[in-house]
Structure 1
C-alpha cells in the first residue's frame, strides 16, 4: 500500500509510526524545510493516551524529556496572584514540548517512512486505482491513499474536500508564541496577566532555565494575514498589546530578535466527514480547535486507530475509513463541544474576566476540571490491532 501523509507536525509522524507497526510504508511531505523547533508544551493524560503511546513505542522516550509541567497562575499588574491552577491541570500526566514529541515520533517512524521536506501538495486527481499527486517541487507520483495531517489550514482538505471557509470557523481570537532569553528570572510556573480581550503569559523552560517562552492571546476579527509573513504578525501583536502593563513591554521588545514564531487564529474545524474516496483527514485537519483540550493526544489516538483499521481491512480503504470515522467521531467531538479557548484565556469583557477569575479561584472547580479532562481522554474503547 502506497500512502502519502501530508504534514510532519505531530499527527503525521504518529501515523507514519503507527502504519510502520503494520508493515505499511508511508511518504510524508512537509512544507517546512525541517522539523519545526517552535511550539508549546502538550500533555497526555489517562489510560487511553498511555496505552497508545506505549504501543507506538514512545512512552519511555517521552517520559525522559517531559517538562514536568508547572502550575498555571494569573496575576494582576503588580504581580499579585489572582488564582493558581494545579500542576495536574496544566501539565497532565506526561507533558512534553511539542517539538520533542514531533522529533521522537519522526525518529521512530524512519524505518518505514520517507520524508519530503520543503515541499507541499498542489494537486490531487483520484482515479480508479489511486491518486495522482502533484507537488510544488517533486515530480508527480501516484499513491493508493492520501491522508491530510496538515493542520487547521490543511491543503489536502482544501484540494479534496473543499475551500477552507467551508470548514474552519474563526472564534474571534489570535494566538502568538515565541522563545526569548530568560534574563528576567521568570519561573517555570506559567504566569499570565489579563485585561479584557488580551492575555500575556511567560514561563521559563523547565529543562533550560536560561530560556523562556511568551504566549499572547488577543481578541480580533478575522484578518487576511499570510501565515509566513512574520513581520505582519509582529505588527499585529504590537498593535494589540501596546500600552499594556506588567512584563508586556519587555516581552514585546524581544520580538525584534525573533525569526521563528507560532502565530495562528483561534478557530474550530467543522468537518461533517473526514473521509472521501481515497482521502482521509486526521488530527487538526479533521477536528482541530486551536489550543482545544486534548487535541494533540486525540490526534495520536486517531493515528493509532486509522493505521489499525487499514491493517485489519487488508487494504480495503472504504471499510477502514468507515470504521475509523465510527470509532473516532464521538471521541474527538467531545473536545469540540462549546470549546472556546480564547474566552477561557482572554475573556472579552470585564464581567467575564471577573467571573473566570472567581471560578478558577475555587478548589472544587479546579478538581472538577482535572477529573473531567482525564475522564474524557480515556472515554473510548480501542481494539488491540495486533501486528500481523
Structure 2
C-alpha cells in the first residue's frame, strides 16, 4: 500500500517513521530543495507525550543532545528601571515532567536522518493536483498513483488548499504576530535570553549552544495586517514599523533584518476544520489543527497526531474509511484543548495594557520565590491549562509493528496489516 506524505518538517518524517514500521510504502515530497540542515528556524517545545514518542523511536539521546539549553530570562519592562530575572527551568518543570526545547530545523534533521533509508524522499517538488482515486500530479509534471495522501505541510498547507478549499475558509486570527530572525551570536548571551516587554509588543534575543542566535518578536494589532505569507520584504517592513522607538538592543536586532540568513514571520492563527479527512486524503499537524504558532504547543501536537494516524492505519489494515475517523476521534480532544488554551495564551503572552505588563512581571517574581515542589503541585491541578500536554495518554500500537526501522519488513498478514509493494 503506497502512501504519499506532503511535507518533511516534523509531522511528515514522524508519520513516515511509524508507517514504515507498520509495513507501508511511503513517499515524502517536500517543496524545499534540500533537507533542513541549517540548525535554524525557531525554538519549539516537546512535552511529555511527544518525548515519550521520541523515546519509542530510539531518538531520545539525539533530541536531548540538541536542546537549546536556554535556562535564564531577563525581562526589561518599558518604562521601568529594574529588570526581572526568570529561571526558565523552574517554569518548564511546572509545565511538564518531561520537556525539551530544541530548534525546529535541528529536530527536522533528526527525524529525517532516522527515516531517509526507509522512506522515499523527493525534494524540490510539490503536489499540483489530487484526484479522487489517488492520482497525484506534481509541479514537476510527473504523475503517480497513491492509495492515500497526507498533508503534513504546515499552517499554509498546499494539500489542504487543493482538497478542502482556501485557507480563509478555516483560519481564525487570534490577535497577534510572531517573527524570528537568525543572526550572529555577538551579544554574549550563552544560555540566556533578554526580553524587552511593552504594551502590545515584546522583543527578545538569546543564544544557547549555537553558532548563531535568535531574535524573537511578538506583537498585537487591533486588526489583521494586509500582507502575503511569502512576501518577506513586506513582512520586514511591518516589523520595523511596529518596533520603531523601542530601546536597548532592539534597534540592533532590527538592523539584522537586511542580512539575516533565516527569517520567519506569521500571524498567530488557528485552523478550525470540522473534519481533517476527505476521501483518500487526510491532514496531520499544523496542516489540520494548528492551535496557533508559539502559543499552543503545536509541535508536540503534531508529533502525537502523526503517531496516532500511523497507528490507526495499521490497526485498521490500511482501510482509510475506518482509520481516518478513528484517528480524528483519538486526536480530537487534544487538538480542541490545545486550541482553547492557545486563545488564552495569545491574549496573555503579549500584554494588552500597562496593568497586564505589570501583572506579568509580578507573576514572574512570584514564580522565582515559590518552592519548585509547590509550583509543580499547583500546576498539576490545571490539566486544561499549562499541564494539558502531560495529561494526554498515548494509545499503544506496538502490536502492529512489523520490523525495526532500517530492516526489510516481514510480509504482513492481510488481516492485520497493509500490503507492501516492492520498489
Shared fold, TM over 0.5: yes
Shift of 1:144: 0.8
> Are the structure 2 counterparts of residues 110 and 355 from structure 1 closer, same or farther at C-alpha, using a change threshold of 3 Å?
same
Task: Indicate yes or no: 2:356 matched with 1:352.
Answer: yes
- Please list, as runs of the form range in 1=range in 2, the aligned pairs for 1:216-227 lying within 5 A after superposition: 216-220=217-221, 221-227=223-229
Q: Which runs of 5+ in 2 are unaligned?
A: 403-423
| Cα deviations by residue, 1:113-160 (Å, 9 ceiling, x for unpaired) | 122222222212112xxx122221241221111111111111111111
Task: Indicate yes or no: 2:320 matched with 1:314.
Answer: no
Q: Is the 8 A contact 1:334 1:376 kept in 2?
A: no
The residue matched to 1:126 in structure 2 has which SS?
A: coil
Aligned to 1:292, which of 284, 292, 295?
295
Shift of 1:318: 1.2
User: How many corresponding residue pairs?
Assistant: 382
In 2, the alpha carbon distance for the partners of 1:89 and 1:43 equals 13
1:115 alignment counterpart: 121
1:17 alignment counterpart: 17
Deviates more, 1:307-316 or 1:366-375: 366-375
> Are the structure 2 counterparts of residues 297 and 88 from structure 1 closer, same or farther at C-alpha, using a change threshold of 3 Å?
farther
Task: Indicate yes or no: 2:376 matched with 1:385.
Answer: no
> Are the structure 2 counterparts of residues 72 and 21 from structure 1 closer, same or farther at C-alpha, using a change threshold of 3 Å?
farther
In 2, the alpha carbon distance for the partners of 1:81 and 1:366 equals 22
Shift of 1:236: 1.1
2:53 alignment counterpart: 52
In 1, the alpha carbon distance for the partners of 2:204 and 2:213 equals 10
TM-score (norm 2): 0.84
Q: Is the 8 A contact 1:49 1:378 kept in 2?
A: no
In 1, the alpha carbon distance for the partners of 2:47 and 2:341 equals 21
In 2, the alpha carbon distance for the partners of 1:366 and 1:277 equals 47
The residue matched to 1:151 in structure 2 has which SS?
A: coil
Shift of 1:201: 0.4
Task: Indicate yes or no: 2:330 matched with 1:324.
Answer: no
1:252 alignment counterpart: 254
Shift of 1:34: 2.0
Shift of 1:98: 1.1
TM-score (norm 1): 0.91
Structure with max Cα Rg: 2
The residue matched to 1:80 in structure 2 has which SS?
A: coil
| Cα deviations by residue, 1:320-366 (Å, 9 ceiling, x for unpaired) | 11111111111222111142344333222223222333333323696
Deviates more, 1:68-77 or 1:329-338: 68-77
Task: Indicate yes or no: 2:175 matched with 1:172.
Answer: yes
Task: Indicate yes or no: 2:67 matched with 1:66.
Answer: yes
In 1, the alpha carbon distance for the partners of 2:18 and 2:248 equals 45
In 2, the alpha carbon distance for the partners of 1:322 and 1:247 equals 50
| Cα deviations by residue, 1:246-297 (Å, 9 ceiling, x for unpaired) | 2111111111111321111111111111112111111011111211332111
Q: Is the 8 A contact 1:170 1:267 kept in 2?
A: yes
> Are the structure 2 counterparts of residues 316 and 292 from structure 1 closer, same or farther at C-alpha, using a change threshold of 3 Å?
same
> Are the structure 2 counterparts of residues 181 and 18 from structure 1 closer, same or farther at C-alpha, using a change threshold of 3 Å?
same
The residue matched to 2:131 in structure 1 has which SS?
A: strand
The residue matched to 2:282 in structure 1 has which SS?
A: strand
Shift of 1:370: 7.6
Pairwise CA RMSD of aligned residues? 2.2
